[in-house]
Amino acid sequence: MTKSNPGHYFEDFKPGMELVHATPLTVSTGDISLYRALTGSRHALYSAETFAAANGFPVLPVDPLLAFHVVFGKTVPDISLNAVANLGYADGKFLKNVYPGDTLTAISDVIGVKENSNGKTGVVWVRTRGENQKGETVLSYVRWVMVNKKDPANPAPEPSIPDLPSAVAHTDLVAPDYKDWNDALAGSKWRFSDYEIGEKIDHVDGMTVEEAEHQLATRLYQNTAKVHFDAHAQKDSRFGKRLIYGGVVISIARALSFNGLESAAQMLAINAGTHAGPLFAGDTLYAWSEILDKAKLSSTTGALRIRLVATRDQPCHDFPLKGEDGKYLSDVLLDFDYWAAIPI
């Protein structure tokens, strides 16, 4: 019997099942440096210990998206090794700050299954949480993927579809309480009250992604999905080449969004996310944002609900998103909906 991991097929997932994923990871300042070098992230809160300390953090915290990718990466061998498509995210919450030296373990609960009408694939919903070394949940999110069946002849399970919120309620956000936010060091004078619902921001800059870069990032997170690494096998695939991990797109788009959203540094929740198209090495990412909602969280701190859109080889002066047919335009790669804290 082969000892290599065959992954799980659609039939293997049963609602109520818990999967403890392999390879917990101790996050270090080395990871913080690499994340910065790989994404171009520039938020003062995640770059400068002095800035973080002035705002109530004991030491320099880890960017929530870095923690998210680390947790997500660990789920791949168990959840999506045989996946056809990564369909969406919902109800993602960042519950505890992560600091260098914290060890993150990923655990998933299967919360829904539904076989597709073709009988060859099915959709699996999992809620994944990342726990630190104290057993505290630092982040939690739902994702759903389309997974191959091992044998189409196997009977379909009872469908069970979880009830998911379209967005995390602002009352459920774990809010920081910024004490001494320095606009000059943060890079912007724009704060909570300067952003209006419906406002759109072109982040202007572009970032071209190389094979070495996305492979480094994806291995940093210990995400092993084959499509990102094996050019030889990908020659015979639909795209004929390596596909870049969607988390790389999210992080680079988010880093580009610094230019216009400098003080919305801290991601609090992921409401939804769609990978509308694939990114390949050599492509240039651009990004724009729309303010979807606002909420005051404390006397010092508010939250912006932001749609972050990433495009390929397409500057975002005119905020490209969907065509008249309601479908994403061909150059739109990401439609990501999140809450971020911002000082008042």
| Binding positions for its own copies, 223-282, rule CB under 8 A | 224, 226, 229-233, 242, 259-262, 282
Q: Is the CB of 145 or the CB of 217 nearer to its own copies?
A: 217
Map the footprint of its own copies across residues 100-129, applying CB under 8 A.
100-101, 103, 105
Minimum CB–partner distance for residue 313 and its own copies (Å): 5
The correct pick among 167, 217, 272, 309 for binding its own copies (CB under 8 A) is 217
Q: Which of 186, 170, 185, 192 is nearest to 300 (CA)?
A: 192
Strand residues in the chain grouped as ranges (E) = 18-20, 25-26, 83-94, 103-115, 121-131, 137-148, 200-202, 207-208, 266-275, 284-296, 301-312, 332-343
Instruction: Tell me whether residue 87 or residue 204 sits nearer to its own copies (CB atom).
Output: 204
116 vs 284, which CB is nearer to its own copies? 284
Q: How far is the CB of 142 from its own copies (least distance, A)?
A: 22
Distance (Å) of CA 26 to CA 23, 61, 140, 220? 10, 14, 18, 12
Minimum CB separation of residue 36 from its own copies in Å reads: 6
Smaller CB separation from its own copies, 18 or 325 = 18
Q: How far is the CB of 112 from its own copies (least distance, A)?
A: 23
- Cα distances from 195 to residues 43, 172, 188, 264, in angstroms, run 18, 21, 12, 11
Is 100 or 162 the residue whose CB approaches its own copies more closely?
100
Please report how close the Cβ of residue 91 comes to its own copies at its closest, in angstroms: 25
**Dihedral sign of CA atoms 69, 75, 81, 82 in order:** negative
- The secondary structure of the chain in percent helix, strand, coil, rounded to multiples of 5, reads 25, 30, 45
Q: CB 8 → its own copies: shortest distance, Å?
A: 14
Q: Which is nearer to its own copies, 63 or 213 (CB)?
A: 213
Chain residues 156-215 in contact with its own copies, contact rule CB under 8 A: 184-188, 190, 194-195, 201-208, 210-213, 215
By CB under 8 A, the residues from 71 to 90 that bind its own copies are 77
Helix (H/G/I), strand (E/B), else coil: 335 = strand
Choose the binding region for its own copies from 48-56, 86-94, 118-126, 173-181 (rule: CB under 8 A).
48-56
Min dist CB 241 to its own copies, Å, is: 10
- Give the distance, in angstroms, between the CA of residue 320 and the centroid of all CA atoms in the same chain: 21
- Here the tokens at position 282 are 């050599």
Q: Give the angle subtended at the CA of 245 by the CAs of 137 and 134, to the nearest 5°.
A: 15
Residue 253 to residue 311: CA distance in whole angstroms? 9
Q: Give the end-to-end CA distance of the chain in Å, rounded to a whole number.
A: 60
Smallest gap from Cβ 146 to its own copies, in A, equals 21
172 token code pair = 């459920």
Binders in 54-73 for its own copies, by CB under 8 A: 60
Print the binding letters for residues 2-41 with its own copies: x by CB under 8 A, - otherwise.
xxxx--------------xxxxxxx-xxxxxxx-xxxxx-
Number of residues that bind its own copies (CB under 8 A): 80
